[in-house]
Amino acid sequence: MSRNDSAPPTAGSPTAETPTAETPTAVLTVFRLAALFVFLAVAMGSVVCATGSGAACPTWPGCRPDQITPQWELSPIIEFVHRVVAMSAGPLVLAAAVMSLFLKGPHRLVRILPWVALVGALASGAFGRLVVLSSLPTWLGGVDLFAALTAMTAMGVAAVVLGSFTSDLTLRSAPKWRPLQVRSLAAMSVIVLVVMHDTGIFAAAPLSYTRCMGWPIWQLIDTDLHPWLQVLRLGLAGLGAVLVITTAVMAVRTERLRKWGILIGTLFAAEMVLGLVIRAGGINAGVASAYSVLAVALLSCLGLLMAVAWSAQVDADATALETVPPKPAEVH
C-alpha cells in the first residue's frame, strides 16, 4: 500500500508553509524612521560635542527660561535641533518596540532589539538632560555614549532584519557568498569601535575634543588627561582599521554586499583623510564636526552591514532547505 497521500508536505513542495509572514508596510516604516532618527540624534550629539554647543541652551526642554526656541545663532540652533531630533526619536523607538510584540513571522531579534534600543535611548536622553541642568561624572558620560551607540546599532539592525523578511531575497550563486564571514567581521568591527570611542571620554582632559566621537589623533595625546589611555585607543584604532578594511574588502567581493563595502571603505578613507588634515593644520569646529559625523556614520553602516549579512545567511539557509528534494514515499 502506498503512503504518499498521507505524507506531510516537505520544504520546497507547493503545499509547504512559508516560514515567515508578510510584515505590514506601516510597521516597517516605523522601524526605519526610528532607526533614522536615532542615528540623526547620535550624529547631532557628536556635532554638539565637536562645536561645544552643549551650554548654548542652559535650560530644558526650552532653550532659555524666557524662550522655548533658540536665538538666531549657530550654537543654540545646533543644540536645540539635537534636542528636537532626540525627542522625536524616543516615541518612534517606543512605537517600534510596541509593534514588535505583535509580529509573528520575523526572527526573535526583531522583537528584542527595539526594546534594547528603547532602553538605550531613554538612558541617553536622561543623561543628556542631566548634562544641561547640572553636570555628569566621567563614568556616567561613558554610560551615556555607550547607551546612545547601543540604541543606534540595535534599532538599525532591527529595521534591516525586519525589512529582509518583506523582500524577495534570492541568492543566485550561493556557493560564492560568504555572508557569515562578513557578518562576523562587521560585528567585531562594531565592538572594537564602540570601545575605542567610549574610552575617549575617560582619556580626555576637560573640554578636549578627545571626548567627542572620532578616531584618536596622535597629535592630541599630549593635551589629554590620561595619555596612556589614548595610546591604548591608538592600538584599538589600529585593530579597528584592519577589521574595517577587511570587512569592506570582503563585502566588495560579495555581489549583494558590494555597495555596502564601497560605502564603508569610502567613509573610512574620508575619516582618515580628515584625521590627517587635523593633525597637519589643527582642529576647528567645522572639521571637528565632519570628523565626528563620519565616525558615527561609519559605525552605523558597519552595524547595518552586519544585519544585511545576517539576513543573507538566513536566506541562504532557507534557500538550501528549499532545494533539498523530498524523500520518496514509502511503498509496502
Q: For 171-204, how does the pLDDT look when each residue is reduced to its tens digit (9 = 90+)?
A: 444 434 566 789 999 999 999 999 999 999 998 8
pLDDT attached to residue 327: 54
Based on the domain organization, do 214 and 183 belong to the same domain?
A: yes
Residue 254 belongs to domain spanning: 172-327
Phi, psi (deg, nearest 5) at residue 67 = -155, 140
Among the three residues 130, 147, 167, which one is the final residue of a domain in this structure? Answer: 167
Among the three residues 167, 195, 217, which one is the final residue of a domain in this structure? Answer: 167
- Among the ranges given (4-8, 135-139, 296-300, 326-330), the one the predictor scored with the smallest mean pLDDT: 4-8
In 3D, which of 114, 105, 108 has the Cα closest to residue 157?
114
Confidence band (pLDDT; 50, 70, 90) for 104? Answer: confident
Is 8 domain-assigned?
no
Phi, psi (deg, nearest 5) at residue 331 = -125, 130
Q: For 232-280, how does the pLDDT look when each residue is reduced to its tens digit (9 = 90+)?
A: 999 999 999 999 999 999 999 988 899 999 999 999 999 999 999 988 8
Confidence band (pLDDT; 50, 70, 90) for 14? Answer: very low
Based on the domain organization, do 141 and 186 belong to the same domain?
A: no
Q: For 149-161, how does the pLDDT look when each residue is reduced to its tens digit (9 = 90+)?
A: 999 999 999 999 9
In 3D, which of 75, 260, 279 has the Cα closest to residue 182?
260
Q: How many CB atoms lie within 10 A of CB 124?
A: 27
pLDDT exceeds 80 at position 170 = no
Higher pLDDT, 227 or 316: 227
Based on the domain organization, do 58 and 180 belong to the same domain?
A: no
Cβ-count burial of 168 within 10 angstroms (0-12 exposed, 13-18 middle, 19+ buried)? exposed
* DSSP string for 133-192: HS---HHHHHHHHHHHHHHHHHHHHHHHHHHHTTS----TTGGG--HHHHHHHHHHHHHH
Based on the domain organization, do 33 and 163 belong to the same domain?
A: yes
pLDDT > 90 fraction of the chain, expressed in percent and rounded? 55
Based on the domain organization, do 184 and 145 belong to the same domain?
A: no
Q: What is the mean pLDDT of residues 215-241?
A: 83
Lookup: cell for 245: 578594511
Based on the domain organization, do 176 and 313 belong to the same domain?
A: yes
Based on the domain organization, do 104 and 46 belong to the same domain?
A: yes
pLDDT attached to residue 147: 97
Among the three residues 149, 167, 185, which one is the final residue of a domain in this structure? Answer: 167
Higher pLDDT, 132 or 102: 102
Confidence band (pLDDT; 50, 70, 90) for 35? Answer: very high
Phi, psi (deg, nearest 5) at residue 64 = -140, 165
The crossing angle, in degrees rounded to 10, of helices 138-164 and 25-51 is 150
Based on the domain organization, do 281 and 294 belong to the same domain?
A: yes
pLDDT > 70 fraction of the chain, expressed in percent and rounded? 80
Based on the domain organization, do 97 and 189 belong to the same domain?
A: no
d(CA 71, CA 332): 87
Maximum distance among all Cα pairs of the chain, rounded to whole angstroms: 89
Tell me the pLDDT of the chain averaged across its residues: 83
pLDDT attached to residue 297: 98
Is 332 domain-assigned?
no
Is 7 domain-assigned?
no
Is 57 domain-assigned?
yes
Based on the domain organization, do 266 and 220 belong to the same domain?
A: yes
pLDDT attached to residue 11: 40
Higher pLDDT, 137 or 13: 137
Based on the domain organization, do 103 and 212 belong to the same domain?
A: no
Q: What is the mean pLDDT of residues 316-326?
A: 46
Based on the domain organization, do 218 and 161 belong to the same domain?
A: no
Structural domain total, the chain: 2
Q: What is the mean pLDDT of residues 53-75?
A: 84
